[in-house]
Structure 1
Amino acid sequence: MCGRYVRARAGLEYLAPLVSGHGDFPVGLDVCPSWNIAPGTCQPIVYPAGTPRRVRWGYRTPWAMRKRPRTIIDATSGNFDSSAWKALWRNGRVIVPGDGWFEWVDAVDGSQPYFIRRMDGEPLFMAALTSQQLETEAHDGDGFMIVVTAADAGPLDVHALRPVVFAAPDARVWLDPDTSPELASYLVHRVALPAGSFDRFAVSRAVNWADRQDGPSLIERTAAPR
């Protein structure tokens, strides 16, 4: 599953496809590009009607806060039937905009990062869940998680899980508050873009250092180790 992702475009390029037919265009769309987004940072996510807000990537369950629970950065699609997740599944659906994500593959001389993106060059609309409601203040533990599902056979089978990515029309349905949990589940398991919609290639290991490496050079092709 992706532990880093890329958001390299202007905010309008992500948000315009998500507000088609939804009335007024949202404001406050300025976002800085980043080619090495890591968990624990505050990033823009998109709520219904294309409204953006910066939220921390990573969620800690409120019922376990006294035990100092680990931060969860991804939500496995198979867990949505549990009572602990039903509220987020019903009321916390958001989209994380991006252009691709990184995965690491074991190589003889260490882990080799690969960049994964849509083959058609379109933005990624990644399904996500958040505990942070749009109009409320953040509380300890609030954050967002990228929804992941089983990786089908193909160019993305470097790990067992991968992000759920929608085409823009399906992302709008995911965001719609009137979408039932059953339909949302159907979108995740039957409608999301398949593995054949993506390609991957090796990139520089400089991406390993999220705290000091950023820029478009991180997604330039490099020779894959043999």
Structure 2
Amino acid sequence: MCGRFALFTPVSELTNKVGAVMPEREIHPRYNVAPGTWVASIRQASEDSAPTLEEMWWGFRPSWAKGKGTQPINARVETVATNNYFKSAFAKHRCLVLADGWYEWIKNSSPKQPHYLCRRDREPLYFAAVYAERDDGGLGCAILTEQARGSAADVHDRMPLILDDDSLEHWLAPDLTHKETIHSMVRHIDAGLVEHWSVSTAVNKPSEGQGDELINPL
């Protein structure tokens, strides 16, 4: 799964790759982004518009659920295109969630031992995600996950679906709606690019801080 991540690279650097329009408001670095908060995302609302950087609520509950549906933070890549809760968003409302790395916890560790996972070259990450309009008119998203690959599998059996640079525009393109076409045009990054290390258990509680010390190796 993906239940916590960090974003500290200036978002202006991340938006350049897809030509996204920046908001007027500054987005500050965060080292412990938790579900149920606003996250920096890129979406393309229509074929005639440029991609835009927007903040979305990390929790997916479409307005048609009328406040009664679940509010998942993740969607499985294996079923997102066919699951009734997500399939419309997969076809029409795909987005990118921006990150530098994410956290996972070693199973059966006590206290729960977090690891920080990121690219070996420290390049930022683009998580594939889907979004929908919420009851309050805002946008809520869920990050796609896949079977863990490479060294990420040492920590957890799932990992976020991280797209390579050539897939970003295809993933955002509103005119791509057919699931087989989307799958054929989108690729994840090479598993060998990911590394990880153990970090402080202070990550376990988002209230304990947002400083860069959270990603320092133990």
TM-score (normalised: structure 2): 0.87
Contact 2:107/2:156 (8 A) holds in 1? no
**Structure 1 residue runs without a partner (length 5+):** 20-24, 133-137
Q: Which string of whole-angstrom CA distances, capped at 9 and with x for unpartnered residues, describes residues 121-180 of structure 1?
A: 111011000003xxxxx524951000111113x211122211011122211211111224
Contact 1:105/1:114 (8 A) holds in 2? yes
Contact 1:47/1:175 (8 A) holds in 2? yes
Aligned to 1:149: 146
The structural deviation recorded for 1:107 is: 5.8
Mapped to 1, the partners of 2:121 and 2:196 lie a distance apart of 13
**Structure 2 residue runs without a partner (length 5+):** 45-49
Aligned to 1:200: 196
Aligned to 1:135: none
Contact 1:92/1:130 (8 A) holds in 2? yes
**1:36 is aligned to 2:32:** yes
- What RMSD, in angstroms, separates the aligned Cα atoms of the two structures? 2.1
TM-score (normalised: structure 1): 0.84
Instruction: Describe how 1:39-54 pairs up with structure 2 within 5 A.
Output: 39-48=35-44, 49-54=50-55
Number of residue pairs aligned between Structure 1 and Structure 2: 208
Aligned to 1:166: 163
Shift of the 64–164 alpha-carbon distance from structure 1 to 2, 3 Å rule, reads same
SS in 1 for 2:206: coil
Mapped to 1, the partners of 2:84 and 2:59 lie a distance apart of 20
The structural deviation recorded for 1:47 is: 0.8
Report percent identity of matched pairs: 30
Contact 1:18/1:168 (8 A) holds in 2? no
The structural deviation recorded for 1:54 is: 1.2
The structural deviation recorded for 1:201 is: 0.5
Name the amino acid aligned to 1:215.
G
Name the amino acid aligned to 2:8.
A
Contact 1:18/1:169 (8 A) holds in 2? no
